Amino acid sequence: MKYIYLDHAATTPMHPDVINEMTEVMTTNYGNPSSIHGVGREAHRKLEAVRQIIAESLHAAPHEIIFTSGGTESDNTAIIETALRMKDKGKHLITTAVEHPAVLEPMKYLETMGFDVTYLPVDSSGRVTIEAFEEALNEETILVSIMYGNNETGQLMPIKEIGELLKEHQAVFHTDAVQAYGSEEIDLQKIGIDFLSASAHKINGPKGVGFLYKREGIRLLPFMHGGEQEEKRRAGTENLAGIAGMGKAVERLSTEAKLQQKKKNQQFQLLILKQLTEAEIAYQLNGSQEQKLSHILNLWFKGVPNDLLLMHLDLNHVAVSTGSACTAGTVEPSHVLEAMYGEGHPAVNESIRISFGYENTEEEIAKFMDILIQTVKRLTE
């Protein structure tokens, strides 16, 4: 029986065009991009062609794109190396309580080195308020790292407004756009971002590859040392096949394609909420329907432990998640929902995340809803 896969916020299946592109590169374009002979030059041309594709998608310059192993490396590089470079100007950092661990863990690491980190709270919708940010910002602040869109609730953060506030401030502005890059139109000419992180496997590309946007004029200490690849900004022979696959995935993300997928996702969300209401299921939307990523829907099923619900859905070949880390078969409480509702709130352990992708169909959603409603009713009898 085929799985109904509704966990695209965790990872996405590779698109057939991506697989074909990677296969072609692995078969015919096997050179080292740093080699000076013809085979190497051809590999280098491919590398730079992808850099151009990604830059254009963000309205950036090609030399502002650094290839990495994914979102975690990009986040760590931007955060840790910026903090170390600017420590003589201050030791205050600002982030949010709802960031991905790839941001929260580097922040905790920097705290052990004497840095002071402010973890901004969020409101009931899961968004950071401008008022809270302005209150936290001070003369010692050297780095601000706030995600573009949350990976559990889908809530979009006020990135443009924060960028405006930082225009005349020394602080460097980083955003983790891993969830948002594939669905939102991001024009770096219009928003004041210095660093942006993205990952290929969230946009139907391969795992183990991503990029970091670094605005021209911003210094960056290299996170990895060795060769002189990526203009001495990231050592190591480039993963050309993976980078080519990422480039093909980005090519699919036209403005029209994003708009069509967004409309499709919104229809899925409305259908799910409508059917739950008609079935008289006790549920609540975590977050707001406004200012959010269209592919993520986080729902609290009152009185239903999410680990039990996940298990029953999995037995029925439905893949969703809690949006939190799963370790050794156990579901940890969501730090995002704890930030929204407080520790011990029932929603923290009674919520699931449903996330859509390009291959999902209305027929799949209808079948999923039959299974979900029957399961919730059975677990609440």
Which residues are tagged catalytic? 326
At how many degrees (to 10) do helices 240-251 and 38-58 cross?
40
Report long-range pairs for 275-283 (Cβ below 8 Å, ≥24 apart): 275/369, 275/373, 276/369, 276/373, 279/373, 279/377, 281/373, 281/376, 281/377, 282/380
Contact between residue 129 and residue 82 where contact means Cβ atoms under 8 Å apart: no
Contact between residue 321 and residue 352 where contact means Cβ atoms under 8 Å apart: yes
Residues 6+ apart with CB under 8 A from 45: none
What's the CA dihedral at 108, 112, 115, 119 to 10 degrees? 30
Whole-angstrom Cα distance, residue 150 to residue 263?
A: 19
Element holding 198 (H helix, E strand): strand 195-199
In DSSP notation, 303-364 reads: T--HHHHHHHHHHTTEE-B-SS-EETTEEPPPHHHHHHH-TT-GGGGSEEEEE--TT--HHH
**Residue 345, amino acid:** H
Whole-angstrom Cα distance, residue 230 to residue 301?
A: 47
Contact between residue 174 and residue 188 where contact means Cβ atoms under 8 Å apart: no
C-alpha distances out from residue 315 to 319, 371, 379, Å: 9, 11, 14
Contact between residue 360 and residue 352 where contact means Cβ atoms under 8 Å apart: no
The sheet that has 116-120: what strands, in order across it? 65-68, 210-214, 195-199, 172-176, 141-145, 92-96, 116-120
CB atoms within 10 A of CB 228: 10
